[in-house]
Amino acid sequence: MAPKTQSTLIGQSGRRSTVSLAVAASCVANASTQALATQLAGQIARAAVVFSVDEVIVLDDAVGPGSTAGPSEAAALLVRVLQYLETPQYLRRALVPMHPDLRCAGALPPLDAPHHLRADAWDGWREGLVREVREEGGSSYALLDVGLEADACVAMARAAERDASKEKRRKRSSSAGSSPSALPPTLQKGMRVTLRVEDAPKTVPLREAVPGAASVQAVYPASMSTPMAPRAEQGRAWGYLVRLASSLEELFARSSFGDAYDLSIGTSERGVSLESLRGRVESDDAAGAPCSMAYFPAFKRALVVFGGPSGLEYALDKDPWKSKTSNPGELFQYYLNTCPHQGSRTIRTEEAILISLAALREPLQL
């Protein structure tokens, strides 16, 4: 049965800005069992997808300052569960190795993210895994598992063209670095890639998709794309990237998108209310008219940081940057309390993430 076209979960217009979420690993270390820690990680992943977050950073504040023993157990578990949940179900067996940290992950509710397409759904993009790369009739092509009854096929450049383009990309990447918005230099077996596919589900014989091929195997024609393309073209979230930051310096140094964050927001009960920022920044709306209701200046890379049970003060106290300041609010452009007049003495990290992202949805254009 041919997949049905999926038309939901599409934004009104594209945008190139990104929003990153950083969470302290101590929130997981505080869990009494692995099952509870895994459940907490699942709640963080669900929040990231619901609010279209582009990057999730795990700040490892569960190790002592100056530790060289690698990431803490809490940080490692959080990273693994976040990566496991972000991976489309049909690719997990191949891409996510079995590990004790994932023992309870199978019981978590699915993210149901836009890039987690069902077998009977179709979309202009799809995540695939390179199963095989072939050379035939002077042409090179790759067959990819896309979770359907037939593979996708990507025709690659001929040898001479490939070498020339590879040299151009090498020169560009040497200065710019790698980025999710850049096409992979080549396809190799076992690689996960984002594909652009036809608007309607239709298979063709392989020999029609690749000049020089002789096989009549049914394939879906596709071309290489990037994880940022759905966001940039249609405003649609397409999963999140995951990285580990062993210190605050590493957290702020560079985003997964190749450049620095130009908007940083810390969250704390000691911060100022979001409402107090309304109208302080002169900005333009989508039509180019002055907007007096803006909260933040225009940004390209936004970062929102959440502490663990003891707040960002605990993370700073265990970080080399504590020699710079004892006030974590001084590390951010904005230090916000997104739930003023709270009824409970404490707000858990997973609750703070949901409350804050809901409050920041309009200001950050999530």
Mean pLDDT by 10 residues, the chain (366 residues): 51 77 94 95 97 96 69 95 96 95 95 90 91 86 92 76 49 51 80 90 88 86 91 89 94 88 94 81 46 74 94 91 91 93 90 95 87
Task: Give the pLDDT score at 194.
Answer: 94
For residue 161 the two structure tokens come to 């063209």
Task: Note the Cα 49 to chain centre separation in Å.
Answer: 9
DSSP string, 235-265: ------EEEEESSHHHHHH--TTSS--SEEE
The two tokens of residue 233 are: 């073209």
Q: Give the C-alpha separation, 169 to 152, whole Å.
A: 25
- Residue 231 to residue 205: CA distance in whole angstroms: 31
Task: Fold for 121-232, please state it.
Answer: OB fold (Dihydrolipoamide Acetyltransferase, E2P) (2.40.50)
Per DSSP bridges, beta strands 121-122 and 301-306 are unpaired
Instruction: Show the DSSP H helices in the chain as ranges.
Output: 26-29, 34-50, 73-86, 89-95, 159-176, 206-209, 229-234, 248-253, 311-317, 349-360
With beta carbons less than 8 A apart as the criterion, state whether 364 and 19 touch. yes
* Cβ atoms of 83 and 54 closer than 8 Å: no
- 3 state DSSP class of 276: helix
Element of type H or E holding 58: strand 55-59
pLDDT number for residue 366 = 79
Task: Tell me the sheet residues that pair with 56.
Answer: 21, 242
pLDDT the model gives residue 16: 79
Q: Which amino acid is at 351?
A: E
Question: Is the Cβ–Cβ distance between 365 and 296 less than 8 Å?
Answer: no
pLDDT at 120 (0 to 100): 81
CATH topology of domain 13-113+239-360: Alpha/beta knot (3.40.1280)
| Domain spans in the chain, listed from the N-terminal domain onward | 13-113+239-360, 121-232
